[in-house]
Amino acid sequence: MGIGDDAMRATRLGIGALALVAACTTTPAKKDQAATQPTLPGSAPATQAALPPKQVDPPKIALVLGGGGARGFAHVGVLRVLVQEKVPIDLIVGTSVGSLIGALYAANPDVFELEWKAFEIDKDDLFDYSFFSAKAGLVKGEAIKEFVRKNVRWPLIEQFPVRYIAVATDLNNGERVEFKSGPIVDAVRASVAIPGVFSPTRVGDRLLVDGGVVANIAVDTAKANGADIVIASNISQKVVDYQVDDMLSTILQSITIMMSEAAESQLQHADVVVTPDIGDVGTLDFSQKKRCMQAGIEAAKAQVANVKQAIARYYVERGGVPPAP
C-alpha cells in the first residue's frame, strides 16, 4: 500500500472521531432542560398541588317571622317545610303574631306539636275585649298572657333550646325593644300590642306596644345578632280587605297598610323571602287557619332551592365545600 492510501485512511479516521465527539456533546432536548431547571426563589413551581378546602363553620340561620294577625298561621306552614328540608334554625326573631308563633316553636322545636297548638288557637284565646273600661285599647291583653303561660313550654326566654328575640316598641320614645331574655309572657304581650287595639303594657320603666310600629319584619335584628343567612316569612304583602266597616277594622287595616310599606326596606336585606298568598285574609279572620298554613307550606316549598343556594354560597365564599344534599 502506498503513501497516498495511508493519508486517505488517516483523514477518514479523523472525520469519524470528530463526529463521535460532536455526538457526545450535543445539547439535551428542551424538555430535559425544563425538567432539571431549578425553581427561582419567589417563583411558582411548574406544577402545584391543589390546596385542600378550608374547614368552614356551619352558617347561623335565622328565621324572621313578621306580624299580620290571623295571617300568622302561615308561619306554621313555613316552619314545617324548613324542618322537613332539614334547614337548621339557630335564631327566631318575631314581631307581633310572629313573636307568638316563634315562641311556641323556639321553646319546643317540634313542628307537629306547633301545628296541633296552632289549630286550637281561637280568637277568644287572644282577644279579651273591654269596651267599657278601655282607655288606650279595646283589648286588655290578659287572655294572651294566659295563653302563653299555658302553651309555651318554658317561662324564661333564656331557657329556650332555640335562640329567640321578640320585638316591641317603646311608645314614649319610639325605640325598638328586643326581648332576648326574661319572662316570655311579657315579651309576647308587648310585641302583639297593636296600637289602638291592645292596651299598651308596661315592662320595667317602659310603656310598650307592637313591634311592627318600628320593624314589622326585623331582618336587621337577626343580622345584628349574628345571623349569616336570614329567611324572612312575610305575611303583610298585598293585603286587601273590603270588609272595613267599623272602628276596629279601620284601625287594623290602616296599621296593616303602614306596616306593609315599612317592611319593604327590611326585606331587601333578607337572603330568602317567603311570601304566602294570603293577602285577602283579614287580621282577625281566624276561620282560615288551615288555608293560611297551606299557603305557608306552598310558599316555603317554592323557596327551598333558594335557601339551599344561600347555604352553598356561604361555604363557597369562605373557601369551603357545601355539604352534600
Q: Any idea which residues carry the catalytic annotation?
A: 96, 210
Q: To 5 degrees, how large is the angle CA 80–CA 283–CA 170?
A: 95
Report how far apart the first and last C-alpha atoms of the chain are (Å, whole number): 94
**Which three cell numbers mark 246?**
267599623
- Give the span between the Cα atoms of 287 and 201, in whole angstroms: 28
Long-range CB contact pairs, 48-53, < 8 A, 24+: 53/319, 53/320, 53/321
- Give the span between the Cα atoms of 151 and 298, in whole angstroms: 27
**Which three cell numbers mark 28?**
439535551
Using alpha carbons, select from 212, 233, 204 the residue that is nearest to residue 89: 233
- Give the span between the Cα atoms of 61 and 80, in whole angstroms: 16
Which are the contacts of 151, defined by CB distance < 8 A and separation ≥ 6?
Answer: 104, 117
Per the rule left: phi > 0, alpha: psi between -120 and 50, beta: everything else, 157 is: alpha
Which are the contacts of 157, defined by CB distance < 8 A and separation ≥ 6?
Answer: 164, 166, 179, 180, 181, 182, 183, 184, 187
